[in-house]
Amino acid sequence: MVISRTPFRISFFGGGTDYPVWFNQNRGKVISTTINKYCYITTRFLSPLFVYRYRIRYTFQEKRNDLSKIRHPSVRECLRYLNLGNERIEMQHNADWPARSGLGSSSAFTVGFLNSLCALTGQPTDKIKLANDAIHIEQNIIQENVGSQDQTAAAFGGFNVIEFKSDGLSVSPVNIADSVSDALNRHLMLFYIGMPRTASEIAKEQIANTPKKEKELTAMLAIADEAEKIIKSGNNFFDEFGRLLDESWRIKRTLASKISNPLIDSLYDRAKKAGATGGKLLGAGGGGFLLVYANPELHPKISSSLAKFPRVDFNFEKNGSQIIYKTQET
């Protein structure tokens, strides 16, 4: 039996520049961090005493003999990609927070499942291979409308600058003191506003709009460049960080019609009036988690202004997808 633990992520800057339709012709840059909220994937070999070959447990439970009949696309294609069609596999998924909420949970699942399967079957892998394999499966095999940042963040973990070009991706850790990282973490608030959505459906419109949004995406890329410079400049970047988040969000919400809506706009404006300097809706948009950035002294006032929505605590994490339990099976 193998258990993998794979973190969710918060993306700060550059979202939208990580789609191949953009970075294959330009360049992409995302600044993000993983957090201490995870998805857990348990895999094991299934006994031949069972009348089925695959038992897959997530929101639903599937018992299949034919790999092609597995409904969960990531499970089906990860097994196929790793040539495990002749094995007998059981998989169970658990997560700390809800899916479809803007934290990269779908890609964390794919990365975590690949990592778990490789550990179970003895196939070699590493962080860059996990990221690239997950990107290939989601974009090219399943053909989902997803970018390339979520898989990379989940595989590598940590606070990173991730760059995308036509010839591949690169990951550069943001090397700041732990005290500065902790201070940045304390400026952030996360509210769950619900309205779970399928990111691929929202991203489909954004991808289609990309050729018409060169000005906006170029501006978002410039903001990511500026954010990288101020973060690396020292420990006095906190006000600028919030300002850049606000500027980036106001551009991002114009990239597709379903990224924001009147409720999201009103909640963001309410947080700003209570003292927030910036923020954004996480992920593709439409619902999920609202990130708010503000001086910690103003957090009680902002929480009061958004009192109907749960505020959840989190911390940055550094490890990426890990195998946290493994036992030999016969």
Class at the top of the CATH hierarchy for domain 2-175+317-326: alpha beta
* 188 neighbors 238 (Cβ within 8 angstroms): no
Q: Where in the chain is the domain with CATH 3.30.230.10?
A: 2-175+317-326
Closest CA to 13 of 141, 149, 117, 128: 149
Q: How confident is the model at residue 189 (pLDDT cuts 50, 70, 90)?
A: very high
CATH superfamily, domain at 178-316:
GHMP kinase, C-terminal domain (3.30.70.890)
Residue 199, pLDDT above cutoff 70: no
Classify strands 278-281 and 316-317 as parallel, antiparallel or unpaired: unpaired
CA 310 to chain CA centroid, Å, is 20
Q: What pLDDT is stored for residue 154 in this prediction?
A: 98
Residue 330, pLDDT above cutoff 60: no
The mean per-residue pLDDT over the stretch 211-237 comes to: 93
Q: Where in the chain is the domain with CATH 3.30.70.890?
A: 178-316
Residue 258, pLDDT above cutoff 60: yes
Q: What pLDDT is stored for residue 257 in this prediction?
A: 84
Residue 227, pLDDT above cutoff 80: yes
Q: How confident is the model at residue 284 (pLDDT cuts 50, 70, 90)?
A: confident
pTM over 0.85: yes
How far is the C-alpha of 44 from the C-alpha of 27, rounded, in Å? 40
The mean per-residue pLDDT over the stretch 186-211 comes to: 84
Q: Output the six-digit token pair for 6.
A: 């794979």
